[in-house]
Structure 1
Amino acid sequence: MQTLEIKVPEEKAPLIKALLKELGITVKTKKQKEPNKETIAAMKELKEGKGKQFENVEELFNSI
């Protein structure tokens, strides 16, 4: 048995699920999680090179 992951537009998902079930294929759905605004802002900050860098884990924990 193989597991395949496919991305399907939400409006086409019912059609694809019905087709796969008709072919006897087990269907399991997995929703993609969207990052929240705070996480998106943090990722943008890191891409802009504004994140903090630490020499080691001890230095990181001491900064908290």
Structure 2
Amino acid sequence: MNCPECGASMEQGWLFASKDGAFGFASRVPGVFENARNAEGFVQITEPKLGCRTSVETWHCAGCKVVAFKH
């Protein structure tokens, strides 16, 4: 995959979270006491995995500090 910013080749790797985490996307970061699923624009990227690390295959451009992934 090539970087959308500079066009250089990107390195494949993994974006990961601490154990039991899940990745989500929203218009804003919900507060600690809010249900993230209720946040405006919420998109679930990964399911929570109890006792396991959550990960997403990711590409990284070292020059631009850009990461890209599909979900």
Instruction: Provide the TM-score with structure 1 as the length reference.
Output: 0.22
User: Where is the helix percentage greater, Structure 1 or Structure 2?
Assistant: 1
Instruction: Provide the TM-score with structure 2 as the length reference.
Output: 0.21
Report which of the two structures shows the higher radius of gyration computed on alpha carbons: 1
